[in-house]
């Protein structure tokens, strides 16, 4: 059974159907890229998974639990984490303090017990290493570069023990080398966490994506490997261009 199942998901915004009978399955540890032209419904799909937007109809199942109509904070308890384009880090705290705070916000009794039993410093060190911020641990978030700030936000989701990471254009505004490092971070997380990432940067997508779903007008236009997608005539005409 897939870890994330989306069935016939639909949302109407005052008569405009932004997501239209969408079906998606994402396996545990899989990294799925969502592609599609502007307005295809990619960000709205992430909103529907994390609970920022409630659907008009359809179903979202995560880890066997139906989360379709749960508020955002309850989905977070199930392990659903969303990274937005504008990061929500605490600027006046250091990298390490941001991660400690994120860790302390892990919901539930069990999370608190494991937090006490597990060696927190070891877990945080590993996370800082994964995102390449070990040397910046004592740097205030306000002094980080754009790329480092984005990686800190990814690290905060990891500290919260997110099982599913939803990322909306994580490389937006990044330099080429920051984009490459972001791809390397996602490569490291692949298999460990389930990731759904919306991206337009095709070089990045080629690097990280194992499976791609192309959305068009709120539903799935095509699915497959990067090779399948790039050679699909319908995708070329709707999105990639000839």
Ligand X SMILES: Nc1ncnc2c1ncn2[C@@H]1O[C@H](COP(=O)(O)OP(=O)(O)OP(=O)(O)O)[C@@H](O)[C@H]1O
Site residues, ligand X (CB under 6 A)? 13, 16, 18, 36, 38-44
CB nearer to ligand X: pick between 105 and 237? 237
CB nearer to ligand X: pick between 9 and 158? 9
Q: Minimal distance in Å, beta carbon 40 to ligand X?
A: 4
| CB-based contact 208:187 (threshold 8 Å) | yes
CB nearer to ligand X: pick between 149 and 217? 217
CB nearer to ligand X: pick between 38 and 177? 38
Q: Minimal distance in Å, beta carbon 218 to ligand X?
A: 7
CB nearer to ligand X: pick between 159 and 204? 204
Q: Minimal distance in Å, beta carbon 210 to ligand X?
A: 21
| CB-based contact 7:59 (threshold 8 Å) | yes
Q: Minimal distance in Å, beta carbon 213 to ligand X?
A: 12
Q: Minimal distance in Å, beta carbon 122 to ligand X?
A: 38
Kindly list the strands in the beta sheet with 31-35, ordered across the sheet, starting from the edge strand earlier in the chain.
80-83, 164-168, 194-198, 31-35, 211-216, 219-224
| CB-based contact 194:28 (threshold 8 Å) | yes
CB nearer to ligand X: pick between 153 and 169? 169
Please, what sign has the CA dihedral across residues 137, 201, 27, 24? positive
Q: Minimal distance in Å, beta carbon 37 to ligand X?
A: 7
């Amino acid at each position: 059974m897939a870890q994330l199942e989306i069935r016939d998901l639909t949302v109407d915004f005052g008569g405009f159907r932004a997501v239209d009978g969408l079906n998606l399955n994402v396996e545990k540890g899989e990294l799925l890229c969502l592609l599609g032209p502007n307005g295809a419904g990619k960000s709205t799909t992430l909103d529907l998974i994390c609970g920022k937007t409630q659907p008009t109809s359809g179903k979202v199942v995560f880890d066997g639990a139906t989360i379709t109509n749960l508020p955002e904070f309850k989905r977070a308890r199930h392990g659903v984490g969303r990274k937005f384009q504008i990061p929500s880090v605490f600027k006046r705290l250091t990298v390490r303090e941001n991660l400690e705070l994120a860790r302390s916000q892990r919901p539930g009794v069990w999370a608190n017990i494991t937090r006490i039993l597990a060696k927190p410093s070891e877990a945080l060190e590993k996370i800082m290493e994964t995102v390449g911020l070990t040397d910046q641990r004592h740097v205030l978030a306000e002094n980080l570069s754009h790329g480092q700030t984005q990686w800190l936000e990814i690290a905060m989701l990891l500290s919260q023990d997110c099982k599913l990471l939803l990322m909306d254009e994580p490389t937006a505004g990044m330099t080429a080398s920051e984009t490459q490092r972001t791809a390397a971070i996602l490569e490291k997380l692949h298999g460990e966490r389930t990731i759904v990432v919306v991206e337009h940067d095709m070089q990045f997508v080629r690097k990280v994506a194992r499976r791609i779903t192309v959305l068009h007008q709120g539903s799935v236009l095509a699915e497959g490997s990067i090779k399948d997608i790039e050679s699909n005539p319908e995708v070329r005409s709707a999105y990639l261009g000839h």
